Amino acid sequence: METCSIVIVGVGGQGVLFLSEVLGQAAMESGLDVKVAEIHGMAQRGGSVISTVRLGKKVHSPTVAEGEANLIIALEPIEALRSLAYAHSGTTILVSTNPISPPGLSISNEKYPELESIVESLGRVSKNILTVDTLSLARKSGSLATQNTVMLGLVSASGKIPLGVSTIKKAIADSAQKKFQEVNLKAFDLGFETYKTLRTIPST
């Protein structure tokens, strides 16, 4: 099996690193080699966070080179744009449609770009753009903080990662605090089921 290269992007407080931890643990449970790295992150809420996960039979480095990501998981639309250097025409880009305005945007009096224009820009690079309202699904799970786990369910259902559903769910349960295990597993299931309804937005 060739190496699967995943880039996860979002802002502080969205659980980017939790996703990396779950994927890394699930990969190890599956007997795969895995390397995880936080390329750039800011502790405060609102700061950009990027993490990479590479898994396969033998992985030598956690670094994902430009144009070599198999999958980009974007928990925030603008952060999806910022990750485009990692994408190529076959990269699957999964984007949450719920914006979090960068702190500098209001200071500069600039407006947050329309989602349609963001998707259009993404589509110029990749043929496989999927958008989803993770906020509404997280609300159904019982916690708005589970948007990241909703994304994990979507990714699992997509078949883009070589990890079994039960293995991922076990990693979620092991990684989440006990009081949050139930809502996270419910969020995963909601994301998994929702994937069937998504429509790929082709490049233009």
**pLDDT tens per residue across span 6-51:** 999 999 889 999 999 999 999 999 999 999 998 765 545 568 899 9
What is the model's pLDDT at position 203? 43
What is the model's pLDDT at position 101? 80
What is the model's pLDDT at position 126? 94
Quote the crossing angle between the two packed helices 16-29 and 147-158, to the nearest 10°: 40
What is the model's pLDDT at position 74? 97
Q: Where are the domains of the chain?
A: 4-104+111-197
Residues β-bridged to residue 201: 129
Assign residue 146 a region (left: φ > 0; alpha: ψ between -120 and 50; beta: otherwise): alpha
Q: How much is the average pLDDT of 87-115?
A: 84
Q: Is the dihedral of CA 192, 194, 195, 196 positive or negative?
A: positive
For the cut 50, the answer to whether the pLDDT of residue 204 exceeds it is: no
Beta strands per DSSP E along 57-201:
71-74, 92-96, 128-132
What's the CA gap between 178 and 129, in Å, rounded? 34
For the cut 90, the answer to whether the pLDDT of residue 105 exceeds it is: no
Q: How much is the average pLDDT of 119-144?
A: 95
Is pTM beyond 0.95? Reply is: no
For the cut 60, the answer to whether the pLDDT of residue 161 exceeds it is: yes
What is the model's pLDDT at position 202? 47
What's the CA gap between 204 and 200, in Å, rounded? 12
Provide the 3-class DSSP secondary structure of residue 179: helix
Span 67-92, pLDDT tens digits: 999 999 999 999 999 999 999 999 99
What is the model's pLDDT at position 56? 93
Task: Tell me the CATH number for domain 4-104+111-197.
Answer: 3.40.920.10
CB hemisphere CA count around 191 (13 angstroms): 31
